[in-house]
Amino acid sequence: MFTSKDVMELRKKTGAGVADCQKALKETDGNMDKAVDYLREKGIATAAKKASRIAAEGIVLAKVEGNTGVLVEVNCETDFVAKGDQYIAFVNGVAEYVCANDVKDIDELVAAKNDETVAATAKIGEKIAIRRFAKYVTENGVVESYIHMGGKVGVLVEVEGCTCAGTRELAHDVALQIAAAKPLYLVADEVPADVVAKEKDILLAQIQNDPKLANKPEMVINKMVEGKINKYYDENCLLRQAFVKDPAMNIEKLVKSYSDKMGKTLTIKRFTRFEMGEGLEKRNDDFASEVAAQMKK
């Protein structure tokens, strides 16, 4: 038998989670040394030591099966590992799991794949972290994906209205657009009021700091601000963006042209764009210091 104090001691020795320590002690009849070996054999102790490392590399991967599409980002420590077959196979497994199961959120996904993540971390030798996912299931339309630069950028988009080849062609063009133009919203109405207010404050400050504009009548200044806000919408709202393949039309007109040609009412319902590592702390390798430290040893 073992006590909670034994669990805490084992956790301190190995860095493994409470549940893993409890299981190890149970499997070894409370023998501390054997429990440590058990965790090492399972790769859990090794993986736990890597848990504090920075994992800001990795890939974004997509999987589309029938009317279901999935986009996942899984991180590792180095770009070298991110290109390896073992790592890519693990990420594929994560995408397949999301595609086949009703996963509510990232916490549920991480918990469900915990054992496999621990094993992969031990086998590959780097910290691996499942960061985020998106999943679309369409009833009357298509889900299309696009992966750019070998997994540096991934897009998932759903277009409703028809399941024919023309809809998929439109969805593919829109996915390319999203990857290239980085829209933040689908339509202007989705832009939060506080974001618009902040943009207006910035624009007003810019005008006030410009001697050529500061003394303009208030009505003129307000029109200038509204014009710049509209430009913000044009740059950040997908339907208002100029189409990268033909800047003479925007995406809203592109959708209408496909709808008219096909005799269907097509609609872009939603999209997700993941850029690998965005917002994550980046690893800072100081190789000179590392070599110096090794020489001192």
> What does the pLDDT look like over 277-289, one tens digit per residue?
998 877 655 444 5
User: Backbone phi, then psi, for 138, in 5-degree steps?
Assistant: -105, 150
Ordered structural domains, the chain, with CATH: 4-49 (1.10.8.10), 54-137 (3.30.479.20), 188-260 (no CATH)
- Sorted by sequence, the CB contacts under 8 Å of residue 9 that are 6+ apart come out as 32
27-36, 160-169, 236-245, range with the lowest pLDDT:
27-36
Q: How far apart are CA 266 and CA 129, in angstroms?
A: 37
* Helix (H), strand (E) at residue 131: strand 129-137
Which has more pLDDT, 285 or 69?
A: 69
17-21, 119-123, 288-292, range with the lowest pLDDT:
288-292
Residue entry with tokens 């609609």: 267
Task: Give percent of the chain above pLDDT 90.
Answer: 71
Residue entry with tokens 């496999």: 116
For residues 146 and 180, the answer to whether their CB atoms sit within 8 Å is: no
User: Backbone phi, then psi, for 68, in 5-degree steps?
Assistant: -120, 135
> Model confidence over 185-205: pLDDT tens digits?
999 999 999 999 999 999 988
Mean residue pLDDT of the chain comes to 90
Question: In 3D, which of 147, 141, 105 has the Cα closest to residue 258?
Answer: 141
- Sorted by sequence, the CB contacts under 8 Å of residue 282 that are 6+ apart come out as 54, 56
Which has more pLDDT, 115 or 42?
A: 115
Q: What is the pLDDT of residue 290?
A: 45
Q: What is the pLDDT of residue 170?
A: 98
Q: What is the pLDDT of residue 52?
A: 63
Q: What is the pLDDT of residue 129?
A: 94
Q: How far apart are CA 79 and CA 192, in angstroms?
A: 36
For residues 266 and 159, the answer to whether their CB atoms sit within 8 Å is: yes
Highest mean pLDDT among 9-13, 87-91, 219-223, 292-296 belongs to: 87-91
Asked if the model's pLDDT at residue 17 lies above 90, the reply is no
pTM, full prediction = 0.79
Q: What is the pLDDT of residue 283?
A: 60
> Model confidence over 158-188: pLDDT tens digits?
999 999 999 999 999 999 999 999 999 999 9
Q: What is the pLDDT of residue 14?
A: 75
Cβ neighbour number for residue 273 with a 10 Å cutoff? 22
Asked if the model's pLDDT at residue 50 lies above 90, the reply is no
